[in-house]
Structure 1
Amino acid sequence: MLQACLNGSRAAEEHPALPLSPERLAEDAADVAALGVTSVHIRPRDVIGALTLVGPEVATTIATVRAAVPGIEISVSTDVPGRRGTLIASWAPLASGRPDIASVHVDQPGWRELAQALHQVNVKVELVVESRTGLTELPDGVSRITVVATRDTAESLLAQVEPLGLPILLHGRDAEAWKVLDYAAILEHHVRMGLEDTLEMPDGRTAKNNAELIALARRRQRSRAPR
């Protein structure tokens, strides 16, 4: 799988093509889906541009993106301040405005309760691992593990989570993003790329947009996969 991480928690001034509104996210999702992406990871915003898990605002974003890319997995992050469990409980009646899967960081307090809240509203759980945690027993509803690593830490983190037997998405950030993508492709793990992870192409040039990052990521994924 190649996932596109379209915006993250970045501010508008960080890149002129950063998609923040539901309409801009839908446009970018359609562009990257045409390049072979089968999953998009987005961070919904409220009317003033702040990260949000509030039901109606999440629903507006998800439904708008889903209309542009029907059939594509839509993932969101739960790494947002506030009463996250209560807000997620309000997602139950959202129907087409509910994400398919949501990420939960295992280094944050209360992550198991958060995973349970997602499971109760029929949203799959993607656990995010960034350091060695001794993770052995998984909550209900976990369908994937995302490992955030540098090229130097990837091997040890993968050794921790691979025995759990779930699909793994491996990615890096900023200067490590392209190196980790290449390594993940060699190992045939899921990969991701987009303006959330890096604003730059491998040669240091600022990327034009998500589509340019994804087009190159797709080529590198294919060229490095075992034959």
Structure 2
Amino acid sequence: MRRLLAISDIHGDLEKFERLLEIVNFDNKHDNLLLLGDYVDRGPHSRQVLDKVMELTAEGAIALMGNHDKMMIDALEHPEDPLHLKRWYYNGGIKTLENYGYRVEKNDAKYWYKTEEMPETLVINEEIRPHIDFLKTLPYYYETDTHIFVHAGVHPVTALELTEPYTLVWIREEFHKGYQGEKTVVFGHTPTKHLHKKPEVYFGENNIIGIDGGCAYGGRLYCLDVLEKMVYYAE
């Protein structure tokens, strides 16, 4: 039987990502790989992580949209609305832009920037365009007969196919405490230490599994062997 492997919230940490794939002995001929979003921001190598994700999807992996990936798209595709850019900067987008050779002067410690600097910053260069185009193709969830894979979670009462994409990449406590569905939901987005005050993968009593080990903050990058419920990690 092919393994079903899930990884989430890589956040530009290429070294941990590649090491984790080695630890689990990932083989695209024998494994199904699901990547649950947030490939960019905060870490040092967002550009290279996206290159790796594109390579893996070309070989059969399934990559989903995360909220940071969506913020990157919105900031670069909609420069007419400065709030998109400010939101992305505030959430770690500066590290991603630096990865593509952009230089933006900080306005204050919270990563908010001077409005007059934004148009120059938002010019999409030929290096970043293929990654934006790739991210725009990503689905928001993946479903099997027994599992739902999603970045942040699902709405407790709204049918999955009718749920707003925003909810699927941003929801937190309403899902954590309210989900009662029959299918097991595997998700990232919320570091596991916020779910049960421990860094380990969160196996919730209400049929949810949180796998964001806080890699963006120096924590672990987890891989869950979904069918066997085996956990691997790089730190």
Q: Same fold (TM over 0.5)?
A: no
Q: Into which bin does the TM-score normalised by the smaller protein fall? A: 0.3 to 0.5
Greater RCO (Cα-Cα under 8 Å, separation 6 or more): 2
